[in-house]
Amino acid sequence: AADARELLAQEIVERAAAEETESVASSISSREDFEAQQAEVAKAQKAHQDELDAKAAEQEKAEEAAEAADRGSSDA
């Protein structure tokens, strides 16, 4: 009877360890998925910011060109 209890206790411990390992593996997988999603979001945000910066630079150049044209026409 003691051997049976010992075997049962060992089986319970092994099962708990297997469940914990599975839980940790699932957690790691979830974390990796989350990190991958975060990387995609960061990439999209950077692309959007780059686009905004490019538009702002274009607008600034256009304003400078307009000012130069105004100065040129007022000089004439």
User: CB count, 10 Å around CB of 64?
Assistant: 10
Q: 53 is written with which tokens?
A: 């910066």
% of residues, the chain, pLDDT over 90: 89
DSSP string, 23-63: HHHHHHHHHHHHHHHHHHHHHHHHHHHHHHHHHHHHHHHHH
Per residue in 12-34, pLDDT (tens digit) is 999 999 999 999 999 999 999 99
Residue type, 36: A
pLDDT of residue 76: 62
Residue 40 pLDDT > 90 = yes
Residue 75 pLDDT > 80 = no
User: CB count, 10 Å around CB of 34?
Assistant: 10
